[in-house]
Homo-oligomer: A and B are copies of this chain.
């Protein structure tokens, strides 16, 4: 198979790039902290590059998964960035959660080179990345999408093209807004029930059969009651995502009263040094002094 590059070996990128190599792609990786790239190579094989530009050179497909807008700009537009070597006809597909604005900017710069950029944030978390069961929400050129769809299949269960550049990111934002509401409602319901002395396991069994049901209730309610918050997607990351959401809402004129409130609750969790707990830890604010 032709060369693919993978930039950013965090908790998501590390296993995603591994799945690609295992599926037979010739993967060249780059990571800011070089030791992690070496650990990846020891485990999966493949090649390690010294810079994003070196990784992207001669690659038909360049994948990336980094932290935020600034990180993406750096690996793309920096002096040793992807866009220094991105080939005409190459596709850069980015799995980071970023603003729609930076996605459109990269798409426009890629187009000027004769290449393509796709914004393709994922959901499913660390477990989804490890098991290869992520959901990928893609925005950008449809022909470029057709060329990468099967490649993403190495680590995704569901891949969907949702519209022009930015629409992958905007879909992810809708996802995060919905999760914020579900989690705060669930937190208040559970904390209230505990205060009332209810048998919360029985309560959850009953109400999860009806109109109050949610994925979060099915998968997190009991661990929330037990004060366990070790499911990976951390408060710090959610705070970053909600920052992007609220900035976009300011731009497009959406009113998000609940999302803004929940963002503030996550800020309080950060202040209490609960940055690494998972997003269901909202309930802590309703129970701790």
Q: Name A's B-contacting residues (CB within 8 A).
A: 100, 123-125, 135, 137, 158, 160, 162-163, 167, 170-171, 173-186, 188-193, 195-199, 202-203, 205-207, 209-217, 219, 245, 248-249, 252-259, 261-262, 265, 285-286
Contacts and interface: CB of A to CB of B under 8 A. Distances in A.
Nearest to A183: B181
A99 to B, nearest CB: 12
Contact residues of A: prevailing secondary structure: helix
Given A135-B209, A211-B123, A188 B248 contact: no
- Copies of this protein chain in the complex: 2
A245 B249 CA distance: 31
Contact of A198 (B167, B205, B207, B255): B167
B125 A211 contact: yes
Contacts of A286: 254-255
Contacts of A261: 257-258, 261
Nearest to A221: B178
B171 A206 contact: yes
Contacts of A178: 185-186, 188-189, 207, 212, 214, 217
B162 A174 contact: no
A248 B196 contact: yes
